[in-house]
Amino acid sequence: MAWGLPAQLATRDLEAEMVFDDIQSLNLAALRGDLDLTAISVGAYPELADDYRVLRCGASFGDTYGPLVVATKAPDTIGPAAVAGMRVAIPGAHTSARMLLRIYAGDTYEEIQMPFDRIMDAVMAGDVDAGLIIHEGQLTFEEQGFHSLFEPAAEWTRTERLPVPLGVVAVRRDLPADIQSDVADAFLRGVHAGFENMEDALDFAAQYARGLPRDVLEEYVSRYVNAATLDMGESGIRAIDRLFELAAERGMIAAAPQFDPL
């Protein structure tokens, strides 16, 4: 999604310094107020709502798929009860993956925070009992010898009948309104450019894909870069509102934040 952004910003006399990092690091940078425009986890937004406004463009939603909990041993049962009493590695306290897991499994497990790209190694080494995996691990866990214990995304789809809210792009509210609008328009045009020049956009993404095989990268992109990336639509807005409603009901957040996408 970032491939076409600098050129589009330049047409509006705006310059961009690109920062590439894992999603939890970007969540923390946003919490510090370090970034004017950034990808964030939907799960981080309740703490950022006063300072950032989400764009309708740039969101990532799953369609029955998304983060899941894996272990090296096949479970006796599959579902939220399968993680009870376990030490589970999570990719960050502010991630949407963690919010989804907590909604369904509550505090029945112990959370061990670590970078997302260390989780599967930690599970394999026995440092934790299970791991909540995101990104390409969702596509490769079986061939690496892991078993699925619980898929919060599948449970969400079954119970809510809505797309699975995962990531969004947000702009600082204290930027002038015309700048916010220019940034939102530039981002949308940049995503359109990415769709129209997919091979170039994938080449760009491959530089930051940690050596991911091209076929896995393409499959991952095909899952999460789609029509909802251009505009989350009313179903996306309902999904995010519902996620916050459930998080508030479970006592994970004080109250559902105002959600007013730009």
The phi, psi pair for 90, rounded to 5°, reads -125, 150
- Nearest Cα to Cα of residue 195 among 169, 217, 227, 163: 227
pLDDT band at 15 (very low <50, low <70, confident <90, very high): confident
pLDDT per position as a tens digit, 95-122: 999 999 999 999 999 999 999 999 999 9
In sequence order, the β-bridge partners of residue 54 are 170
Rounded Cα–Cα distance for residues 51 and 257 (Å): 12
pLDDT in tens, 137-164: 888 899 999 999 999 999 999 999 999 9
pTM to 2 decimals? 0.93
* Same fold: 5-61+163-249 with 68-160: yes
Separation between Cα atoms, residue 8 and residue 42, nearest integer Å: 25
Phi, psi angle pair for 176, to nearest 5°: -55, 145
| Residues known to be catalytic | 135
Asked if residue 38 has pLDDT above 90, the reply is yes
Q: Does the pLDDT of residue 4 top 70, yes or no?
A: no
Tell me, what's the pLDDT at 3? Answer: 61
Question: Is the confidence at residue 195, as pLDDT, over 70?
Answer: yes
In the chain, what are the domain boundaries? Answer: 5-61+163-249, 68-160
Two tokens at 227?
């029509």
| Cα 20 to Cα 5, 34, 55, distances in angstroms | 14, 13, 19
Return the H-helix or E-strand segment holding 112. strand 110-113
DSSP secondary structure, 138-181, as one string = HHHTTTTT-EEEE-HHHHHHHHH-S-EEEEEEEEETTS-HHHHH
What does the alpha-carbon distance between residue 92 and residue 32 come to, in Å, rounded to a whole number?
16
Q: Tell me what percent of the residues of the chain surpass a pLDDT of 70.
A: 98
CATH fold for the domain made of 5-61+163-249: D-Maltodextrin-Binding Protein; domain 2 (3.40.190)
Q: How is the chain split among helix, strand and coil, in percent rounded to 5? A: 45, 15, 40
Q: What is the pLDDT of residue 233?
A: 96
DSSP state of 83: G
pLDDT of residue 203: 80
DSSP 13-75: T---------HHHHHHHHHHT--SEEEEEGGGHHHHTTTEEE-SSS-EEESS---EEEESS--
Q: What are phi and psi of 113, to 5 degrees?
A: -80, 140
Q: Which pLDDT band holds residue 248 (cuts at 50, 70, 90)?
A: very high
Look at 211 and 258; give whichever has higher pLDDT: 258
**What is the rounded average pLDDT of the residues 118-130?**
97
**What is each CA distance from 119 to 69, 103, 110, 134, 137, in whole angstroms?**
10, 21, 14, 10, 9
Pick the CATH number of 68-160 from 3.40.50.300, 3.40.190.10, 3.30.420.40, 2.60.40.10: 3.40.190.10
According to DSSP, the residues that pair with 63 across neighbouring strands are none
pLDDT tier, 218 (very low <50, low <70, confident <90, very high otherwise): confident
Average pLDDT of the segment spanning 179-190: 91
Identify residue 109 by its one-letter amino acid code.
Answer: Y
